[in-house]
Amino acid sequence: MSGRQDPVVGSQPRVSGRERGSMLRHSLENRDAQTRQLQDAVTNVDKHFGELCQIFAAYVWKTARLRDKADLLVNEINVERLEAKVVEPLKAYGTIVKMKRDDLKATLTARNREAKQLTQLERTRQRNPSDRHVISQAETELQRATMDATRTTRHLEETIDNFEKQKIKDIKTIFSEFITIEMLFHGKALEVYTAAYQNIQKIDEEEDLEVFRHSLYPQDYSSRLDIVRANSKSPLQKSLSAKCVSGTGQTS
């Protein structure tokens, strides 16, 4: 028998401390890139939702200023709906974004602590390569920092995923509410304008003119009106009237 031993099936090659450090450094870089992407997502929501909030708030303010005094109640209801269903949900994202920034801050703090412990371990290995006690302590601190960073990263991923899901849902709801409120308001306005148009078409021009003339000549309006009517008779009507007068005279 030879002294050669067969390799153990399933055994993993031993990884040196430097290799583990390199792998961990690469993992840190990947997670940093992921964190920056999540940070950009939160920043974009903060920016664009803030702009939308300002736009809709200005729209509601102008709507409130231009409302018709004759229809004050309807316009107040319209403005209140816009504020409750559109402006307020957008304002709420100020608080939501602040909470997400706090989560990002906690994750970045944990990442920085992990990177600092990794750098300290690498320096310890370079300065005291034979001091296993000091190296072991540094490795323990790094392990704790890595576990904390992993935990906060996982929490951040979950909360940002829920944040994106809720953001999409809210955007859909907010714009749907805005369009619905505007359709209801303008639909009501169309009903009012339609009724007004129909009432205008019912105006009797001749009757209004008679009322005006009567108010202008209240005393002798009737006699003037008789003269106008007499002058407007046709020749046949005048002839018949003369015969009627003549016949009446002969009878008497």
221-231 and 205-216 helices cross at what angle (nearest 10)? 130
Kindly report the CATH number assigned to the domain that includes residue 29.
1.20.1270
For residue 37, tell me if it sits in a domain.
yes
Structural domain boundaries enclosing 153: 25-204
Number of domains in the chain: 1
For residue 62, tell me if it sits in a domain.
yes
Cα–Cα dist 177/139, whole Å: 56
For residue 46, tell me if it sits in a domain.
yes
For residue 50, tell me if it sits in a domain.
yes
For residue 174, tell me if it sits in a domain.
yes
What the block records as the tokens of 27 is 């993992």
Angle at CA of residue 26, ends 20 and 28, nearest 5°: 100
Count the residues in the chain. Answer: 252
For residue 58, tell me if it sits in a domain.
yes
For residue 229, tell me if it sits in a domain.
no
Tens-of-pLDDT digits for all 252 residues of the chain? 444 444 444 444 555 556 666 676 777 777 777 778 888 888 888 888 889 899 998 888 877 776 555 455 566 777 888 889 999 999 999 999 999 999 888 888 888 888 888 888 888 888 888 888 888 888 899 889 889 988 988 888 888 889 999 999 999 999 999 999 989 888 888 998 899 999 999 988 888 888 887 877 766 555 665 665 666 555 545 554 555 545 544 444
Q: Is the pTM of this model over 0.75?
A: no
> CB–CB of 99/156 below 8 Å?
no
Cα–Cα dist 229/60, whole Å: 60
> CB–CB of 138/121 below 8 Å?
yes
Cα–Cα dist 121/127, whole Å: 10
For residue 92, tell me if it sits in a domain.
yes
